[in-house]
């Protein structure tokens, strides 16, 4: 059953439809979170997200003396990737892990918490709602032991899907303190660009249903829309296209009118580093995986 998590989301999604862009964050909340949970098990999704083993080995290289044991993860999704990441971290010398999960979606935070709890991977588990695309937050400061550095984790290409990743990275910097670290993983542009290969993880009904769910959740008849994908520069773009003229929420949408509802950028390594620098982070380690499809960036505040 389609539903929204917050009454304000309806207003914002409808406003986005009228303006021609619905931010992707709504495709993770309410009933869309359950669709995301299904999508997150598909091989296409997993290929974009990358491997937790790569993230942890890059982190161990970057911080050989000590990986902080207080982790603030932004965007844990359904928690599956987080569990794999924490399992790998357990192989290092870390003990007594404190974990704070932060997300736009209360529903996904609940999924992630359940999975983390079942595996007993952290000693101290907390969650908080935060929209990193809007403002900075004091919630990390309130939760942390401020005498010790903190590690912010933004895993599985979460940054590449945001409307404005530099703004989000600035909000994260403003929510942490000097000496804190960030580890982020990003999907790269394959050197031998092939549009079919880049778009292939996004083909199929599961992905389309997940991306279109916010429009369904505000009451739009799903039969009037289809999802079209294209590669624009180095970004995968998804647009909902009206297949017939429709009036919805007092607004007229013509046949073939488009609503932008998905972006997934692919980075060049130097571009990824510049993005962190532009947001005030000092990048001191990067690591590419074997097939040059993912990059891990480790930086200091
Ligand atoms: C692509 S999923 C990645 C999930 C997970 N890290 C993984 O690797 O599978 C993106 C995650 O970021 C969260 N997210 C998206 N936009 C956000 C925003 N503006 N503020 C906070 N969290 C956001 C989503 O709810 C979701 O949990």
Do residues 283 and 183 make contact, with C-beta atoms less than 8 angstroms apart?
Answer: no
Cα 150 to middle of ligand 1, angstroms: 20
Instruction: Give the model's pLDDT for residue 118.
Output: 94
Cα 29 to middle of ligand 1, angstroms: 10
Residue from 155, 158, 175 to probe ligand 1 pocket by mutation (most atoms less than 8 Å from CB):
158
Cα 257 to middle of ligand 1, angstroms: 28
Pocket lining: 127 vs ligand 1, CB cutoff 6 Å? no
Instruction: Give the model's pLDDT for residue 146.
Output: 84
Would you mind telling me the total number of residues written for the chain in this entry? Answer: 301
CA gap 226, 31 in Å, rounded: 19
Determine the 3-state secondary structure of 109 from DSSP.
helix
Written as six digits, the tokens of 26 are: 């709504």
Query: Using CA positions, which residue lies closest to atom 11 of ligand 1?
Result: 75
pLDDT per residue, tens digit, the chain (301 aa), is 899 999 999 999 999 999 999 999 999 999 999 999 999 999 999 988 899 999 999 999 999 988 999 999 999 999 999 999 999 998 887 778 999 999 999 999 999 999 999 998 899 999 999 999 999 999 999 999 988 999 999 999 999 999 999 999 999 999 999 999 999 999 998 777 788 989 999 999 999 999 999 999 999 998 999 999 999 989 999 999 999 999 999 999 999 999 999 999 999 999 999 999 999 999 999 999 998 999 999 999 9
The kind and range of the H/E element at 97 are none
Residue from 40, 42, 77, 82 to probe ligand 1 pocket by mutation (most atoms less than 8 Å from CB):
77
Which residues in 153-174 are b (16+ Cβ under 10 Å) and which e?
bbbbbbbbbbeebbebbbbbbe
Closest ligand 1 atom to the C-alpha of 162?
16
Do residues 264 and 161 make contact, with C-beta atoms less than 8 angstroms apart?
Answer: yes
Cα 227 to middle of ligand 1, angstroms: 21
CA gap 200, 263 in Å, rounded: 15
Query: Using CA positions, which residue lies closest to atom 8 of ligand 1?
Result: 156
Query: Using CA positions, which residue lies closest to atom 18 of ligand 1?
Result: 131
Residue from 21, 28, 50 to probe ligand 1 pocket by mutation (most atoms less than 8 Å from CB):
28
Cα 244 to middle of ligand 1, angstroms: 32
Alpha carbon distance, N-terminus to C-terminus of the chain: 43
Of residues 216, 163, 222, 238, the one with CA closest to residue 14: 216
Please name the residues in contact with 178: beta carbons below 8 A apart, sequence gap of 6 or more.
301
| pTM of the model as a whole | 0.96
Query: Using CA positions, which residue lies closest to atom 23 of ligand 1?
Result: 104
Please name the residues in contact with 64: beta carbons below 8 A apart, sequence gap of 6 or more.
none
Pairing of strands 282-288, 151-154: unpaired
């Amino acid at each position: 059953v389609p539903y929204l998590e917050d009454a304000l989301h309806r207003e914002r999604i409808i406003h986005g439809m009228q303006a021609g862009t619905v931010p992707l964050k709504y495709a993770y909340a309410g009933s869309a979170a359950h669709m995301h949970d299904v999508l997150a098990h598909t091989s296409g999704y997993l290929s974009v997200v990358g491997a937790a083993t790569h993230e942890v080995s890059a982190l161990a290289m970057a911080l050989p003396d000590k990986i902080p044991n207080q982790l603030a993860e932004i965007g844990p999704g359904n928690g599956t990737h987080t569990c794999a990441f924490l399992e790998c971290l357990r192989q290092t010398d870390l003990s007594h892990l404190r974990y704070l999960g932060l997300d736009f979606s209360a529903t996904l935070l609940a999924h992630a918490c359940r999975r983390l709890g079942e595996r007993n991977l952290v000693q101290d588990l907390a969650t908080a709602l935060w929209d990193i695309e809007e403002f900075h937050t004091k919630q990390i400061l309130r939760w942390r032991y401020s005498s010790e550095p903190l590690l912010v984790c933004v895993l599985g290409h979460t940054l590449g899907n945001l409307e404005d990743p530099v703004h989000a990275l600035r909000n994260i910097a403003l929510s942490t303190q000097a000496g804190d670290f960030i580890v982020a993983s990003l999907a790269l542009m394959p050197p031998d660009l092939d549009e079919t290969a880049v778009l292939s993880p996004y083909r199929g009904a599961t992905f389309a249903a997940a991306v279109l769910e916010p429009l369904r959740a505000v009451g739009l008849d799903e039969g009037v829309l289809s999802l079209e994908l294209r590669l624009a520069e180095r970004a995968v773009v998804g647009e909902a296209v009206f297949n017939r003229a429709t009036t919805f929420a007092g607004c007229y949408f013509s046949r073939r009118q488009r609503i932008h509802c998905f972006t997934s950028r692919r980075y060049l390594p130097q571009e990824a580093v510049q993005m962190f620098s532009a947001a005030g982070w000092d990048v001191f380690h990067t690591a590419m995986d074997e097939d040059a499809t993912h990059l891990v960036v480790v930086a200091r505040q």
